[in-house]
Amino acid sequence: MDVNAILKTLYFGHGTRLATVVDKGALGYDPSVQPYPYDSEQGQGAAGRGRLPPTASSRLRQLHRQHRRSFQAGRGDRGLPAKGRIQGEGQRLRVLHFGPRRVQNQTAPLFIYSIGDAYLEPSWVIRWLTQGGLGMHYKNPKLDEMLTKIEATDDPKKRAPQYSDVQKLLKEEAPFHLSLSGRRAFGMSARVDYTPRADETQWLYPMTLKG
């Protein structure tokens, strides 16, 4: 997947490529763990071995639909099957996230999902993605052992370097295709004193008015 093209066209360059699920602003982020390079010929050889039509939720994340179309367009440009479908079209909000379909393994072989690290703590988000309740069934005892060791200390200076090995393992195992972290734009009055968080969670209790 040409993630750089998606960043340019869908996000107007306002985003960061990711190598793993560990966000750039999270504790222990290791910039030396680089994303997979885009290789059109290699991608054609690998993807051509099977159909991977991506499933995307419709209303919950408008960008999911755009990602799906970008993915399909990229496959089509390489002469690969590019059919996909959208879950949740015309349905009530409670089913738009197509969670039951994911858990029951009824989505396409590849589906689009987004998650925000509300605590900027990699262990939390990795546990979330590997607990099996989201239709993502990757499990690795070595990874669990590493996370348990990290969670045993409340000293960030000790946890941070250990997350480097976690990111290297995740890149090697490749349980997910991690694409990008988009940056959000905020428009606020000059009277508002507020600094947006680096994750997707906005806690508004620190917001104050000047003057």
DSSP string, 75-123: HHHTT-----EEESTTS-GGGTT-HHHHHTT-S-SEE------TT--HH
Q: What is the pTM of this model?
A: 0.70
Question: Does the pLDDT of residue 149 top 90, yes or no?
Answer: yes
The per-residue pLDDT for range 35-91, each reduced to its tens digit, is 988 876 665 555 444 444 555 444 445 555 565 565 555 544 544 444 444 444 443
Report the relative pairing of strands 110-111 and 54-57 from DSSP bridges: parallel
Beta strands in the chain (DSSP E): 15-17, 54-57, 85-87, 110-111, 180-182, 192-193, 208-209
Q: Which fold would CATH assign to domain 3-209? A: Dipeptide-binding Protein; domain 3 (3.10.105)
| Band (26; pLDDT cuts 50, 70, 90) | very high
Which tokens in the block code for residue 128?
A: 């979330």
How many CB atoms are located within 10 Å of the residue 132 CB? 11
Q: DSSP state, 207?
A: -
What's phi and psi for 193, nearest 5 deg? -105, 100
Token pair of 34 as six digits: 């680089």
Distance CA 187, CA 112 (A): 28
Q: Is residue 147 pLDDT above 50, yes or no?
A: yes
Residues 6+ away with beta carbon under 8 Å from 137: none
Taking CA 76 as the corner, what is the angle to CA 73 and CA 77, rounded to the nearest 5 degrees? 90
pLDDT tens readout for residues 7-21 = 888 888 888 889 998
- With tokens 């590493």, the residue in question is 146
**What are the pLDDT digits (tens) for 112-146?**
777 777 788 999 989 988 887 667 778 899 999 99
The helix or strand, by DSSP H or E, that contains position 60, with its residue range, turns out to be none
Amino acid letter at 26?
A: A
pLDDT of residue 92: 35
Q: Which helix or strand (DSSP H or E) is residue 93 part of?
A: none
Rounded CA-CA distance 2/37 in Å is 9
